[in-house]
Amino acid sequence: MGPQGLEAPPTPSMSSGLPPQPLWLQPRPRAAGWDPPTLSPSAGVTQCPGPNLQCLSRGRGAEQGVRGGHRLSSMSHRMLWGGRGDPLPAPPGRGAPAPTPVLPSTSAAPGPSPAATGTTGTIGTIGSTGTMGTTGTTGTTGTMGTTGSIGSTGHGEAWPWPWAQGSTSSGQHRLTLPLPVPRVPGVKAAPRGSALALGLNSVRIRCQNEAVFQYHITFSPEVECRSVRLAMLKEHQAVLGDVMAFDGSILFLPIQLPQLLTLRVQRRSDGQDVTISIQSTKVLEPSSDLCIPFYNVVFRRVMRLLDMQLVGRNFFEPSQALVLQQYRLQVWPGYTVSIRKKDGGLFLLVDAIHKVIRSESILSFMRSIYRQSPGSFQEECMKQLVGSVVITRYNNRTYRLHDIDWSKTPQDTFTLASGEVVTFSSYYSKTYGITIKELEQPLLIHRPKEKLSPEGKPRLDLVLLVPELTFMTGIPELRKDSRMLRTMRQSPQQHYQRLSSLLQRIRSSTEASRELQRWGLLLEPDIHRTQGRVLPMERINLRHGSITPSEDLSWAKAVVREASISAISMNYWLLVYPWRLQSLAKDLVCAMESVCGPIGMRLSRPVLLELQDDRIETYARSIRSALSSEEKVQILLCIISGSREDLYAAIKKLCCVQCPVPSQVRGVGTLSGQPAKLRSVVQKVLLQMNCKLGGELWGVDIPLKQLMVVGMDVHHSHSRDMRSVIGFVASMNPILTRWYSRVVFQMPHQEIADSLRLCLADALQHFHEMNHCLPRKIVVFRDGVSDSQLDTVLRYEIPQLQKALDTFESYTPGLVVLVVQKQHSTNLYTLATEQLTAPPPGTVIDHTVGTSSCIPAAPASPWAPPVSLWLSPHPCGSHHIPVALTSSLWLSPHPCGSHHVPRLTFKLCHLYWNWPGTVRVPAPCGYAHRLAFLAGHILHHEPGAQLCDKLFFL
């Protein structure tokens, strides 16, 4: 039994004395109107190892069995996957896996089958012609007529296939074989879900050139400046043509030159003759990966020809800015464009975006901080500015601020590349014609990423910015303003119209079209349209039953009216509050007592800890004293006045590191208001506290047995030490509702693989302690990885996972590593109506526009090929959909079919207990992100080991 007599799901290792199963764990009845055939051994039934399991053979040995021939006493496992009837993996020690499918021959002669009479049968042969014989009749001979169907006995079988629809008047199950579908390059069959017509913000590119030719260029004597090199090449346009892409040493041309070509040119600076040697090196296909970089250079030229300005990596139109005077903001419309190679060919990925620019400068922002906090001016500036992204209007470049130099002013000097020493004020006056008014302001510091000097040595330059000429971007504090968000939001139809407008502008511009034609690039006139599928909706399982979510995939009302799967009684807990909030604390306890019953929790009266003031020292001293004197405290609930990050951080450090105990901190602003509002807030607080105590709120059907799901994410700190934090969580029970967590700190440039092996080995050890067995299937969700880091994950992190598995003797589980990418520009639209709309939750695309062919190859091994897909798990209303990209990098002896990957991912998007609905990423990734952020941003230390089996970080 669970704590305080509450029912908890049993662990698989317990063989006796189990409590009654919840309703949602009990086997479900078969669907009405379907009954599996009952066959005797004489009809070709082979007994297989394992309870309640039989293999329907074809009278010629079990090795010729048919897919879908397993017959179970309970159809619950089959129904969890929607009744596809796929063969289940053989459990350990229960014999061989399901036999290979063998279809009946279609060339058999019509007539009675060999087993003519005397057996109970629904088995017959399928002929090339003939009628369907009677079925389900004892001792009836199945004959074959003229329409190719099933007799009652013989070599054939009546399989419960997914496409078997309806029945005849005699109780027959009509078998309708699917028509063959022509194979389209890049398109895979959709094994699960209903079909849905979709559009993407991608435009297919046709390459009209037969090839692209690569050449290596050398100059004798050496020419240092790359722009001078390019100018020398352009003097020979009669030979090379006017279409070229040159990076300083490698030249790409759409025409073929001799194997070795020598040209001569005179250097203008001193009149010296320079010899240019052009050596042919490669002949590339137009869609080669080596061509993609300069294709993107070509398209950036196209965007400039459309009078767009490059800001960072994207293009914007400041002349079309939307000015919001009431917010002192400007919204610049723009586009992000890139040419990518997908499974279906070359595509132009286009996204309509906006950049929010504040009208006030950083200097004005700093002055407002000084008026509010003159005593802690520098500290507040550092807190609010460091880590933010700013833009300089004079060159439209963006920078991330890393520090503030209070000792430097615009009157200080620096050295130009020419060696001239100038002041900041004179430099801006001469270069940009800008006069700096405030000469005593400090300078902002941006530290670029480490670069190499021409000599190959590391070089790290500092960029100093003047606050008066710098403006903040983004709207972090204005996201709560729903009116402003509605002003900026685009519907899918508006988003599509902006993409269509850009394509029309390219076609209408003679110069832009010519630039593309020079390289043989032809854009299709509209966005790419394809077909996806929609996964079935998931049931939400609670203690006494299950519910079907509403259309918006929310079950917020159900989780506060029905009991959670397991609830931990709060028998001894602390309530900490300042004396000024005594009345609020009393109302809070009353509200908690009134709402705890429906969700299945038992609540005792708390130990009240009333403070004389709300200083950090008072909170820390009182909490430490209470926890040291009372060892049986289950959880701590603190009420703080206002949104005080310093006080919140102090309480969390104390309760997570120094005196490990689950804690819940709430601001007074969220607890005040009308009684109805307080009741709603208290319900959410109790659910969170139940999670932190080790309770389980809700679940979904998980058909895979002995499964462990792992989530990993990395938090990168912008502080001076620049340490990164790895959050690692792993499931500990069959229904994926118990979790083990670890945190690892690492220095810059240190590979995550250095600590990954230890995390997984510890998780496997805890899994064994709880279940008395090791998982046979491990699915790892790796978050926070860009395309450029996929090779690092494949070659450094995955081998560490393998080493963790090797620490256990004779242990070879199935392993899948999935990379979840949230930061991308792919959008989906449904094409069911005249107006484009957002696709429904559960929409999947796993063909054509994926990148599985671009994923780095795995080391030589028998692993399965990678899979790339887009999954839309979360409803997004009128906004175009932000989808989660999942790439399967590593498939060891496959723990589940590749078509199950999106279904399992979609299920996990229902299990994030901080939100009673679906979320954008699988729950393990969400938990790992919360854990890494708490440890890296607030704790700056590893949490206590006593909390590793609880979701204390929610």
The pLDDT assigned to 267 comes to: 82
3-class secondary-structure state, position 61: coil
The residue with greater pLDDT, 55 or 513, is 513
pLDDT digits (tens, 9 = 90+) for 364-418: 999 999 999 888 899 899 988 988 889 998 888 889 998 999 999 999 999 887 7
- Is the distance from CB of 308 to CB of 350 less than 8 angstroms? no
Percent of the chain scoring above 90 in pLDDT: 32
Stretch (H or E) spanning 933: helix 923-933
The residue with greater pLDDT, 118 or 421, is 421
Q: Report helix angle 675-693 to 582-595, nearest 10.
A: 70
CA–CA separation, 534 vs 551, rounded Å? Answer: 14
Helix spans in 137-183 (H): none
Would residue 713 show up in a list of annotated catalytic residues for this protein?
yes
pLDDT digits (tens, 9 = 90+) for 181-202: 334 444 444 456 788 888 888 8
Q: Is the pLDDT of residue 117 over 50?
A: no
Label residue 113 by pLDDT band (50, 70, 90).
very low
The pLDDT assigned to 847 comes to: 76
Please enumerate in sequence order all residues whose Cβ is within 8 A of that of 662, keeping only pairs 6 or more positions apart, or say none.
Answer: 634, 635, 636, 655, 689, 692, 693, 947, 950, 952
Q: Is the pLDDT of residue 764 over 80?
A: yes
Would residue 874 show up in a list of annotated catalytic residues for this protein?
no
CATH for the stretch 707-824+887-947: 3.30.420.10
The pLDDT assigned to 760 comes to: 94
Q: Is the pLDDT of residue 738 over 90?
A: yes
Label residue 43 by pLDDT band (50, 70, 90).
very low
Would residue 929 show up in a list of annotated catalytic residues for this protein?
yes
Tokens (6 digits) for 827:
């959008």
The residue with greater pLDDT, 691 or 209, is 691
Would residue 696 show up in a list of annotated catalytic residues for this protein?
no
Q: pTM higher than 0.85 for the full model?
A: no
Q: Is the pLDDT of residue 656 over 90?
A: yes
The bridge status of strand 635-640 relative to strand 663-667 is parallel
Residue type, 546: S
**How many other CB atoms sit within 10 Å of the CB of residue 536?**
13
Percent of the chain scoring above 70 in pLDDT: 71
Q: Is the pLDDT of residue 456 over 60?
A: no
Q: Summarize the confidence of residues 548-574 as an average pLDDT.
A: 90
Residue with tokens 């240190």: 750
pLDDT digits (tens, 9 = 90+) for 915-936: 999 988 899 999 999 999 999 8
Got the DSSP string for 573-616? EEEEEEGGGHHHHHHHHHHHHHHTTTTT--BPPPEEEEESS--H
The pLDDT assigned to 482 comes to: 64
518: left (phi over 0), alpha (psi -120 to 50) or beta: alpha
3-class secondary-structure state, position 768: helix
- Is the distance from CB of 194 to CB of 537 less than 8 angstroms? no
The bridge status of strand 828-830 relative to strand 403-405 is unpaired
pLDDT digits (tens, 9 = 90+) for 529-544: 888 888 888 999 999 9
Q: Is the pLDDT of residue 5 over 70?
A: no
Q: Summarize the confidence of residues 108-133 as an average pLDDT.
A: 38
The pLDDT assigned to 295 comes to: 87
CATH for the stretch 567-693: 3.40.50.2300
Q: Smallest Cα–Cα separation from 136: which of 120, 116, 125?
A: 120
The pLDDT assigned to 852 comes to: 53
CA–CA separation, 321 vs 620, rounded Å? Answer: 50
CA–CA separation, 528 vs 54, rounded Å? Answer: 48
- Is the distance from CB of 309 to CB of 315 less than 8 angstroms? yes
The pLDDT assigned to 377 comes to: 92
What's the maximum distance between 2 C-alpha atoms anywhere in the chain?
Answer: 106
pLDDT digits (tens, 9 = 90+) for 125-173: 333 333 333 333 333 333 333 333 333 333 333 333 333 333 333 333 3
Average model confidence (pLDDT) across the chain? 75
Label residue 480 by pLDDT band (50, 70, 90).
low
Rounded to an integer, what is the distance from CA 328 to the centroid of its chain? 34
Q: Smallest Cα–Cα separation from 909: which of 816, 842, 855?
A: 842
Looking at 713, 846, 899, 900, which residue is catalytic? 713
Looking at 461, 751, 791, 806, which residue is catalytic? 751
The pLDDT assigned to 753 comes to: 56
Looking at 155, 880, 910, 929, which residue is catalytic? 929
The pLDDT assigned to 425 comes to: 92
Looking at 562, 783, 797, 846, which residue is catalytic? 783
Lowest mean pLDDT among 147-151, 683-687, 736-740, 774-778: 147-151
**So where are the chain's domains?**
37-159, 211-286, 567-693, 707-824+887-947
